[in-house]
Structure 1
């Protein structure tokens, strides 16, 4: 089943495809090219007329034709370069060519329809084709809508039902409240504004002037501006300043551009909703039909299943709604960790890995289920059953049973020493790109489950690192994901890990899971500095943290996924400085290496007191 991150990736890919496919400048270019064709057709007609009169032999007619051609060519030469000026000049021009006149009239009629439709699409979502004469009812609708907004701002109750009775045909979405209607219109107007923002300043100005000239209605323009102002005040968080950088070669006319901008706006709205979805049950509010149109049926069905899954998690006590966020309960966290641990240990058993015996025993808390004769100085953890057996073996059956010190049998215990571990998890973008992230996260959850269940006195700290590093706790582990920013900041991760371990006792180690060399560090200004390939100052800053960890007797064990030669050399240098271990592994075997190594050295700690 698709997850939210898969859908977000799909949304980004869809947006990039559209931006790489289309050329928004076609709105301007297509109109300009048509006007140039009209002018060229007219010039050809002028030239043909002069040639025809010259061939007729009528000198006077030829002189008149020559003078007329000079005048008309001069008028055409003097046409302004901007669209609005060129259209205005040709509207007052007396064409000689009937074909040029017809072509120009058809262009003007089409542009009026397109401008009318774009104005209408900007205001409402009704289907069908608008005509210039249809703008009068829309102007009345906007005037009444502006009045309703002002009434509500003054504390009065607008007649929304009456408004819908009179103007409901403009809104096929059938909004149930004034707020819902305004939000619909704000989304459409923001999309149109994004289209204008995406044009060059010259193109934007020329299209605005052309629209104003074609729709010569000052009242309509004023009502539109008023409504735009009201909507921007009511929805300040709407992306009014959005603009898109188109890089394709498929030119769009105005209706096509309007449709593309609406789709881009819907993609942005859906992306924002998915990114802010702190509660999966809130996904039920997303229009599944629109999701299917944008991303396909699979995504729409996945959203519905996630919403249903959230309900089931709550009903079964695995999730709880906390201040609008759906959070996993401790029971769910334990279940996830145990499942991850079980999966990895099952693999270990299949591979016949992980059987490591410890022969030394000592004083501690972990029962070894063995006994030994009591010796002076031992903790008096008396095993009653074996002690009585010893007495009976010595004295024979009968009561009372007489005990002597030689009968005392005590329980053996494994030597236990507290261990403190910080696991550093690489969250840089390369981890998911190379399919390394999920195995690494699964191992992290399994290790947490192992330590919390089998070694509850131990400490496990968690640090994520990408462009910068941060500490997180076990309840946050299921939600931790990779960072879209570039950078692998080991230095900052080591810095935080050292700080966490400074507050702990016992033997200390850092386990780092990564697939890349250090490409970022915290600079003198306190901000992350990124460079690829790794900059010398980044290497130096990282090795300084390794040296500090070594001085504080912190061992660093590194598990490398898909290592390149540079990473191998760098890690080998780290291990030489620190004395830790380096493992070159793969996503498939990562769990084997991490868990077996941890258990082996945890048992060594129990036996010797040191890793």
Structure 2
């Protein structure tokens, strides 16, 4: 298949919202760190929207729903729905006034002619006609029926009444069949009969379907397809559109006062009774109500404005209000970007402008973008992070943490220990006798070219090397670190808003080690009432435990067991907000007590001693300025020789990551 592209001159208005899958993933990072639920994170993004790299805003569903609500309130506040019925009465009054004026004029002319017979005949005739007009029923249907039988004296009044009748008939039909090609423009008896036949055949197809028979939709479209320029592709599409339109008509009736509703119903019966139109329309509405009970048949709107409406405008108002309500309901219920595929973007564009439709379209594409980038995938009906998504989440967490660091905290340390390791130090120096021959070709050739130029040699296209030209690339020693991050998952962590910063650090450490120290080991242990080992792919979904207890002893035990199988420098980084309040008792069950019991303190310090004898350094990051925690950590560091920090949740990542990198550099300097 070949792609077709369309180009147009740049006029400064073609500004589009520009994000890719990585931008979307960065926007989701905190939500994924907090809950690990891709579906929940996408729901939040749907509701709140996001900002692209150029600062342009993609509205969320909350913003769009608010705009739909404001548009709805604006329509209701400005419109006078009752005027649709009252206006018909006013026009009938104007027609009868026109007729009376013409009779007065002709009667005066007869008297002025001097012809007594003509004057007497005119007076008698006009007296009877005035009597007929005076006796017209007060309701609109009665007036329309009386005037339909009335012999007008005024040709202008007769023409105006004829035009009113045709207009009302067209508007009443238009309520159910909006924008039907040709049907509303020419309401001749033949066209009216064709409208009736079309509705009768629709009713027959509905009844055939209810009996289990297949309706002849293709044949129907051959006979009446010109009346539906939107070209529905099947019977369901056609019927759903008709149901929405007829439900809007019913909403109009529901929104009128009881008196106005009765007036309009009787008027419809009077005008549409010709050729059985009213019967077929009522029959079709009943059938559609049964098929589409949720189309909004019971909707009702209270208008409070002063803008007058005719019947057609009132019907269009009901249709617009119904579509606004439908769109609001659909957007409110959208739990995933894919659910937005049900939104009628063309209708949304008509109601709220093309920008709103484009925003919804972009929101609907978010899941596809992430899936095509390989960051998420569907497993057992749920969206989950892929390994690539997990790595990206760690990178984003790392970037968030490193953005908080001051310039003097990373990247300014000298590395005096240059040797024959494997990692490049990105430093060169002249080769000396006995050095390993790790030639830096760029520096060596540059030295030769500069030397020949200094000697005044003319370029020949060839470079001659001398021993003084050789430059070697220095390397730094490699060390391997094995780290276990102990993450407090007790209930107090989310209660104090510490959980997200702590989890962000865990993901950042994973990202740092994966990207910069791939030979290092990182284990993760979560601890609350008991401790458990977490795999890296489980970390995004790890959450706090709805239990009381901070079992550091069990956490140290599991961390020590993980590090027992690793080589290199071993350390534990513990992030916690409370002193130990639980340990595993003799029965093998966790025992909790607050304030901490001496048994819990002793069990925890026993594990600290075992870690110390195993050569494991314990560095503790305290999130809560608690005196009991500080006293315990002081005893811990005295036994182990590690360090303790009080870290504000906002700079927790700064402390942990700077410490991790700095420890590696110290190890390098010690070699």
Instruction: Provide the residue aligned with 1:306 in structure 2.
Output: 363
2:175–2:245 CA contact under 8 A, matched in 1: no
What's the TM-score, normalizing by structure 2? 0.51
Matched, 1:258 2:327: no
Instruction: Provide the residue aligned with 1:108 in structure 2.
Output: 165
1:291–1:300 CA contact under 8 A, matched in 2: yes
Instruction: Provide the residue aligned with 1:182 in structure 2.
Output: 239
Give 1:164 shift. 2.1
Instruction: Provide the residue aligned with 2:4 in structure 1.
Output: none
Match runs of 1:67-78 below 5 Å: 71-78=128-135
1:115–1:211 CA contact under 8 A, matched in 2: yes
1:131 to 170, 183, 187: 187
Match runs of 1:437-516 below 5 Å: 446=501, 448-450=503-505, 457=526, 500=546
- Aligned pair in 2 of structure 1 residues 53, 174: CA closer, same or farther (>3 Å)? closer
Match runs of 1:40-439 below 5 Å: 40-48=97-105, 71-121=128-178, 129-133=185-189, 134-217=191-274, 219-284=276-341, 286-321=343-378, 332=389, 335=392, 339=396, 342-343=399-400, 346-347=403-404, 349=406, 420-421=491-492, 423=494
Give 1:17 shift. 2.8
Distance 1:503 1:73 in 2: 96
Instruction: Provide the residue aligned with 1:405 in structure 2.
Output: none
Give 1:46 shift. 4.6
Give 1:84 shift. 0.8
Deviating more after overlay: 17-26 vs 343-352: 343-352
1:4–1:274 CA contact under 8 A, matched in 2: no
Partner of 2:298: helix, strand, or coil?
coil
Partner of 1:320: helix, strand, or coil?
strand
Number of aligned positions between the proteins: 417
Structure 2: runs of 5 or more not aligned:
1-16, 18-57, 410-481, 510-523, 530-538, 553-575, 579-593, 596-646, 656-671
1:281–1:310 CA contact under 8 A, matched in 2: yes
Distance 1:297 1:127 in 2: 30
Q: Deviations over 1:330-364 (max 9, x none)?
A: 97588558636743662464899xxxxxxxxxxxx
1:26 to 70, 83, 102: 83
Partner of 1:457: helix, strand, or coil?
strand
- Aligned pair in 2 of structure 1 residues 143, 13: CA closer, same or farther (>3 Å)? same
Give 1:34 shift. 0.9
Partner of 2:77: helix, strand, or coil?
helix
Deviating more after overlay: 224-233 vs 334-343: 334-343
Deviating more after overlay: 232-241 vs 217-226: 217-226
- Aligned pair in 2 of structure 1 residues 183, 115: CA closer, same or farther (>3 Å)? closer
Instruction: Provide the residue aligned with 1:356 in structure 2.
Output: none
Distance 1:80 1:341 in 2: 82
- Aligned pair in 2 of structure 1 residues 23, 598: CA closer, same or farther (>3 Å)? farther
Deviating more after overlay: 97-106 vs 29-38: 97-106
- Aligned pair in 2 of structure 1 residues 445, 188: CA closer, same or farther (>3 Å)? farther
Partner of 2:212: helix, strand, or coil?
coil
Give 1:213 shift. 0.9
Give 1:456 shift. 5.5
- Aligned pair in 2 of structure 1 residues 278, 41: CA closer, same or farther (>3 Å)? same
2:650 to 595, 600, 611: 595
Distance 2:293 2:156 in 1: 50
Instruction: Provide the residue aligned with 1:563 in structure 2.
Output: none
Q: Deviations over 1:352-397 (max 9, x none)?
A: 9xxxxxxxxxxxxxxxxxxxxxxxxxxxxxxxxxxxxxxxxxxxxx
2:398–2:508 CA contact under 8 A, matched in 1: no
2:79–2:307 CA contact under 8 A, matched in 1: yes
Give 1:130 shift. 4.7
Q: Considering only aligned residues, what root-mean-square deviation do their CA atoms show, in Å? A: 4.8
Instruction: Provide the residue aligned with 2:590 in structure 1.
Output: none
2:87–2:310 CA contact under 8 A, matched in 1: yes
Structure 1: runs of 5 or more not aligned:
353-410, 426-439, 461-472, 478-496, 510-551, 554-591, 601-611
Name which structure has the greater RCO, CA cutoff 8 Å, separation 6+.
2
Give 1:253 shift. 1.7
Instruction: Provide the residue aligned with 2:431 in structure 1.
Output: none
- Aligned pair in 2 of structure 1 residues 323, 162: CA closer, same or farther (>3 Å)? farther
Partner of 1:149: helix, strand, or coil?
helix
Distance 2:98 2:302 in 1: 35
